[in-house]
Structures are given as structure tokens and as C-alpha cells.
Structure 1
């Protein structure tokens, strides 16, 4: 059978894969929610949901550094990657011995497409369809509240200070949460100075729990410069993880609005 991934690459798979390696945490969680935990043989050290996976499955490295020999020994039927998370060199090494499916996520349409693709590849179409419908229902219920948009700045890193701007999945989810990103006219993850004029426009400052692990002491540090602004640590997974994590995102967004 011939399948396509989100880079429009053709993948030859002769039978439903039963030995899966996932190199992307949010995709690992999606596989479990699709009922495919038993087929997972390898995950990354960042695949933290569900927590027991890193004990019950082989850990093959991170998303940028992997143990090729360990992956080979697991004899995967398919390896699941992501264009942004995994490097081109990793993909090329893995292609030598297993089919590679690469995701490329920019918006919710891409998320739904990926879930549907996994439904087809792993023969779990009904479960995939159910997850998509549930996410759409959560989204519609949240949007029906007509929440007033509030301006935010969303920090992802310190030293240097970096924020999420447009052309990122985080920015899509900022809008989904009914916030307005003050850095939306910039692209990707720009480095900024804390004297940046756009920060003055923000009603809220979000410090993401990942990839930089912002803590309460960072709130205190910023509060000295932004005396009249509310600064909050937010769950980065709810803004940057796609797949079945979206089932929890909208409920989480409810608690973020003042």
C-alpha cells in the first residue's frame, strides 16, 4: 500500500505496522489515544504522556539526538517523525532501514489531517474520526462563549528572551484561546529586548512551561520591570502539542481568562 505523509512523500507499507517508533512526544500521546500503545516499541525521553511509557518502552534518545543502533535493533515497521522536531540528517539515517512518516503542522487543519492519516495507516479509522469530532466539539463549545480577546506576549525562552510570533502552531493556539498575540506581525520565534515597545501593549505576559522551564522566580524577575502587568506561567503543552492533546486544551483555556 502507498501512503503519503504531510510533506507529500510516498511511503510503501505492505501491511498494517505493528512495531512503531515515535520520535515526537505529542504524536506518541496520540498513538496511545488511538489505542496503539501495544504497537509502540520505541519513544523519546521527552515522551512524557502517559508517564509509564518511558518505563515500558525502549527510549531511543531525544528528538534531535537518537541512538540509531538501538532503533535498528527494535526492527520498526514504521518511524514517525516531524519536520520541525527532527533533523534532516536523522531522517536520512532512518530511511535506510524503515519507512518514515513525517508530519508538518501549522494549524488545526494539519492536526486533523495527521490524525486521519494515522487512522488510515494503522487501521484505526473509527477511533481517529472520534478524536477529531471530539476536538471539534470542544472547540465549538469554547468559541460559542464569545470571549473578549486580550493582548498577550508569549515567552518561550530566556537568555536570550524569545517569544512566539506568527507562522507557529503556538500562535494558532493563542488565537484559539481568544488571546491576541502582540508579536503577530513578526515571524517564528524572534529574540527580543525587554524594552521592546510591543510588550507595553500586552495586557498579559505568558511564560511557557516549555521548552524553557519558566518558574515562579522568573515571574518575580519580570514583575520588577512590568509592575502593572499580570504575568502567568502557562502549560506549554496546551499551546504547542497537537494531536489528542487538543482534547484538553480548550478546557484549560477557560481558566486563563481573567
Structure 2
């Protein structure tokens, strides 16, 4: 089978892969939901769903730092990476071992394309279609719901020291738009470093969203932001629902509804 991954690289796969290494947490969860638990041989330390994988699968490092010898020893047929999660050096090292597929996710359409591509790659077309159909249905339902909700100006933070926010050309920003949130940092690329002292001049958000990952925000950080914002409401949000693609999206829209109902 000759295919291209989501960054346009050609990949040749002779048979359905039976041994998979996943270097992306959300894709590991997707593989499990596709019924591929037995085929998964290697994961990262951040692959926390499903929970039991940390004791049943070989951990080969993080998303930015892998143990290449551990991966080689697993004798994988395919390694799954992501353009944002993994470095170019990691992808190049993995290519020396076996076929390496790189995803590139900015929109829900990209997610659905990846799910269906995995369905073909791993001979799980029916599983993939069920997941895709559920996402499509829940998305349509959510779009009807959110239409009645007011547009809110928001800032979504992912890190402190330095403070880093979500900008444009990211999957999180795409989901913020779907939630009828106007990202005050959408004029900046990717994940810009920002100064809290300038938050009013740079957009004066009504809502501050503090993600549960990758940084463990606490109440004192909300107070720190409050000193600089103009009466913005600060809300702690589940970063997995805003940044994990794949089968996580099936549940995401109910979470977004519950979030709106709390505001």
C-alpha cells in the first residue's frame, strides 16, 4: 500500500501493521478505541489513556525525547508521530527503523481524515466510521446549540514563566472558534509568549481559560492574572478536550456544553 501522511510524505506499507509504536497520546487513545490494543507495543509516558497501558505497554520516552534503542527492540511495523508533538529529528530517527506516519492536525476535518486513514491502514474501517460518524453528529448538534450563545473574548493559557497563550494555526484555536470564543491572541502565531501586564491593551478578554495541561495551573495563578485583567472571569478547563483529537472528540462537545452552562 502506497500512501501519503498528513504532511505529504510518501509511505509504503506492504501488509497491515501488526506492531505499532505511538508517540502521540491522543493517537494512542484513538488506536485503543479502534480495537488495536493488542497491536500497540510502545507508547510515551504521556499516553495516559487508557490508564492500564502504563503497566501493559513499553514506555519509550516522552513526545520530545525518545529512547530509540527501546523502539528498535520492539520491532515495530509502523511508528505514529505528529508534526506538533514530535520533532523533525525524532521523525527522521524513526524512519530509519520502519514506516513512519506523521499526522498534522489543525481542524476537526483533519481529525476525521486521520481517523479514516487509520481505519484503512490498520484494517479497522468499520470502527473508524463509527467514531467519525459520532463526531460528525455531535459536532452538528453542538453547532446548533452554540449558535444561540454570545461571542466571548477569551485568552487561553498553556504555560507560565514565561506566560504562553494559544495563537492562530492551532487545533486549540480552531476549537475556541467553534465554541464561539474570540481569541484575543489569534493575531499571533502558534503559542506566543505574552506579558500579563499588557493583557488589557492586547484584547481585554472577558474570559481567561487556564488549561490543565501541559502546565498545572493553580488558584494563585488565577489571582495573578486577575491583578492585570479588567474583571475577566478565570476558568480552569480540561486541556485534553481542547487539544486531544481522535476519539476524544466524541465526548468533547458535551464537555463544551457543560463549560458554557457554567459561564
Query: Same-fold call, TM > 0.5?
Result: yes
CA deviations 1:88-130 (Å, max 9, x no partner) are 1111111112110010111111111111110000000111111
How far the C-alpha of 1:200 sits from its partner, in A, is: 5.3
Counterpart of 1:203 in structure 2 is 206
Q: Is the 1:63–1:86 Cα contact (8 Å) retained in structure 2?
A: yes
Of 185-194 and 57-66, more deviation after overlay is shown by 185-194
Counterpart of 2:182 in structure 1 is 180
1:162 aligns with 2:169: no
Take 1:143 and 1:151, find their aligned partners in 2: how far apart are those partners? 18
CA deviations 1:23-72 (Å, max 9, x no partner) are 00000000001111111000000000111111110000001111111111
Take 2:230 and 2:30, find their aligned partners in 1: how far apart are those partners? 41
Match of 1:215 among 213, 218, 223: 218
Change (3 A) 1:173 1:198: farther
**Across the two proteins, how many residue pairs are aligned to each other?**
258
Gaps of 5+ in 1: none
Take 1:143 and 1:237, find their aligned partners in 2: how far apart are those partners? 20
Counterpart of 1:150 in structure 2 is 152
CA deviations 1:236-255 (Å, max 9, x no partner) are 11111111111111111112
Map 1:98-113 to 2 at 5 A.
Answer: 98-113=98-113
Q: Is the 1:23–1:79 Cα contact (8 Å) retained in structure 2?
A: yes
DSSP 3-state at the match of 1:86:
coil
TM-score by length of 2: 0.94
Map 1:75-90 to 2 at 5 A.
Answer: 75-90=75-90
Take 1:103 and 1:46, find their aligned partners in 2: how far apart are those partners? 17
RMSD: 1.3
DSSP 3-state at the match of 2:101:
strand
How far the C-alpha of 1:222 sits from its partner, in A, is: 2.2
Gaps of 5+ in 2: none
How far the C-alpha of 1:154 sits from its partner, in A, is: 0.5
CA deviations 1:210-257 (Å, max 9, x no partner) are 111112221132233336221111111111111111111111111222
Which structure 1 residue ranges, 4+ long, deviate > 4 Å from structure 2?
none
